Amino acid sequence: MTRLIHPVLLCGGSGTRLWPLSRKSYPKQFVKLTHDESLYQASARRLHDAGFSAPSIVTAADFRFIVTEQLAALEIVPADILIEPSPKNTAAAICAAALAIDTRDPGGLMLVAPSDHVIADAARFRDTVRAATTAANDGQLVTFGVLPNRAETGYGWLELSAPTPDFAPVPQPLRSFVEKPDRATAEALLAGGMHLWNAGIFLFTTTAILDAFARHAPDVLTATRAALDAAEKDLSFLRLAPAPWSQLPDISIDYAVMERSSNLSVVPYDGAWSDLGDWQAVWREGDREASGTVTVGNATALDCEDSLLQASSDTQQLVGLGLKDIVAVAMPDAVLVAHKDRVQEVKAVVATLKARGVAQAETLPRDYRPWGWYESLAVGGRFQVKRIVVHPSAALSLQSHHHRAEHWIVVEGTAKVTLDDEVRLISENQSMYIPLGSKHRLENPGKVPLTLIEVQTGSYLGEDDIIRYEDVYARDQGAKG
C-alpha cells in the first residue's frame, strides 16, 4: 500500500522585502499577489491531490484565523495547525511538524514547502515530488533544485554530483550547498550547468529527519519535543508551549541539519518557479508590455521601460512618466519608489522605519480579524471613523470600553446588536449608539457580508481598550488576543 505524503506549509514569515504590500500584520503569503487566490491558498491547492494527505500548517498566533479562513474558502480541512509562540526560523518549525506527523503516522513521508512560492505547473511539480518518494523512503533527505535561467544572486544554489540529461526529475546525491553568490560566481554557476537554485522544499520521512535532528541539532529536537508535549489545544489549533520554545535557537533547517548530513539527495525541477522574494521577482512574474513595464491596479505608465507600477487602492491613480528600471508601489498609507537593482534592500528600509517608530513599518491600514476586517477612514484628536465588514454568521466578542463610545451606521446587510440586556436587528441606513462602558456585541445573522461605519469618540481610541466577556474565538483580552 502506497503511503500518503503529508504536506507541511510554513506560513509564519513576514515577507518584508515586499513592503509596503506585505507587512508583519498581513504578510505576502496571504496576499493575492499574482492571481485570484493568495500564495498560501495556491500552495495548499497545489498539494491537494491524490496521494497527498490533509496539510499541516505551522504559523504564528496572529495568523491562525487567516489560515483557517483561507483554507475554508478552498474547502480544505487541515490535519493540524501548529502555533509557534515566537518565530524561530525553519529548523524548529519543521521539527515540530515532524514530531506531530510522526505521532499519527510513524515514519510517514512529509513534504515541507514554503507557502509563498509561485509554481505555475502544479501537476509537473507533484510529479517531481512523486519521483523523489523512493529516495525519501530509503532514508534520504531530499531537497528540490530549480533549473536556473539567470545568474541569480538572491538565491542559494545546489551543486549536483553528476550531469543530468535534460534535468530529469531523478534523485542523485547532493554534492554541496552554495550560499547566495556574488554576480561573477552566479554567472559561473549558471554557465557550468552543474548547479540548481535552492527552492527550500524538502521531502523526507519523519524517521529520517528526526534522526538527523538527534545527530546534528539535539538541542532543537529536545526543546521542540518539550514544546509539543506541553502544547495546549485552542479551538482547532495546537499552541506549542512557550517556555521550552523560548530555548530554541533561531536557525534554519539548512544550517541546523542539511549542511551537516551525508544522506542528502537532490531532485531537479525544470518548471517555472519563483519565491517572489522581492519586487523584481514580482515584476518578472507580471504581464509585461512591449516596453517591459508591468502595471497593476490603477496605474498608468507613459514612456516607461522595464518598470513596475502597482497601485492597491481604488481611489488612487499612480502615474509613471519616463521611468526606467523603477519599482513604484502605492498603498493608501505608504509608497515605495526604488531602483529595481536595490529592491533586495527593502528589508533594511523596514528596519529603519521600525526603529523610528513608524506604524506603517509593520501594520496595514486594514486589520484582519477572525470575524472579518476593519480599516480606519479618518482619525482626529478625539474621534476615529472606521469601515467594518463582518462575515456572514460571524460575531464580534461581547465587550465594553473604558474610554470610548461608538455610533454604528449599517450601510449593507443586517446587524444583530446586543446592548446590555437589549437585542436589536438594524438594517441598512439605520444606526445605533453604544454608550461608553456598555456591554455590546455585533453579529451578522445574514448570508451576505455586513458593512457598517463606526464613529468612535473618547479620550483614548486604542485597540487595547477592549474588555472581552464572551468570545466564540477564545481570544484573550486586548487588541487581538
Q: φ and ψ at 26, to 5 degrees? A: -160, 80
pLDDT at 12: 84
**Cβ pair 424, 417 in contact under 8 A:** yes
Domain extents in the chain: 5-269, 288-355, 366-470
2.60.120.10, 3.40.50.2000, 2.60.40.10, 1.10.3720.10: which CATH number matches 366-470?
Answer: 2.60.120.10
Query: Which burial class, exposed, middle or buried, applies to 169 when counting CB atoms under 10 A from its CB (0-12, 13-18, 19+)?
Result: buried
The rounded distance, in Å, linking the Cα atoms of 204 and 202 is 7
The DSSP output letter for 54 is: P
Grid cell for residue 138: 530509503
The rounded distance, in Å, linking the Cα atoms of 372 and 388 is 8
Q: Which fold has domain 5-269?
A: Spore Coat Polysaccharide Biosynthesis Protein SpsA; Chain A (3.90.550)
Question: 118 has which bridge partners?
Answer: 274
Nearest to 52 by CA among 7, 102, 108: 7
User: Strand 383-390 vs strand 372-379: parallel, antiparallel, or unpaired?
Assistant: antiparallel
Rounded to the nearest 10°, the torsion over CA 136, 140, 143, 146 is: -80
**Cβ pair 11, 112 in contact under 8 A:** no
Would you give per-residue pLDDT tens digits along the chain (481 residues)?
A: 578 999 999 998 877 899 999 999 899 999 988 778 999 999 999 999 999 999 999 999 989 999 999 999 999 999 999 999 999 999 999 999 999 999 999 999 999 999 999 999 999 999 999 999 999 999 999 999 999 999 999 899 999 999 887 888 999 999 999 999 999 999 999 999 999 999 999 999 999 999 999 999 999 999 999 999 999 998 889 999 999 999 999 999 999 999 999 999 999 999 999 999 899 999 999 999 999 999 999 999 999 999 999 998 888 899 999 999 999 999 999 999 999 999 999 999 999 999 999 999 999 888 889 999 999 999 998 999 999 999 999 999 999 999 999 999 999 999 999 999 999 999 999 999 999 999 999 999 999 999 999 999 999 998 889 999 999 888 876 555 3
- Contacts for 218 with CB less than 8 Å, ≥ 6 apart: none
Question: 145 has which bridge partners?
Answer: 198, 268
The rounded distance, in Å, linking the Cα atoms of 211 and 229 is 18
pLDDT at 481: 37
Nearest to 452 by CA among 401, 403, 417: 417
The rounded distance, in Å, linking the Cα atoms of 435 and 19 is 39
The rounded distance, in Å, linking the Cα atoms of 52 and 101 is 13
What b-and-e string marks burial along 58-92, b requiring 16 or more CB atoms within 10 Å of the CB?
bbbbebbbbbbbbbeeeeeebbbbbbbbeebbbbb
pLDDT at 13: 80
Query: Which burial class, exposed, middle or buried, applies to 182 when counting CB atoms under 10 A from its CB (0-12, 13-18, 19+)?
Result: exposed
The DSSP output letter for 112 is: E
What is the value of pTM for the model shown? 0.90
What are the strands of the beta sheet with 440-443, ordered from one edge?
Answer: 422-426, 415-419, 440-443, 398-400, 467-470
Helix (H), strand (E) at residue 354: helix 346-355
**Cβ pair 112, 94 in contact under 8 A:** yes
pLDDT at 477: 67
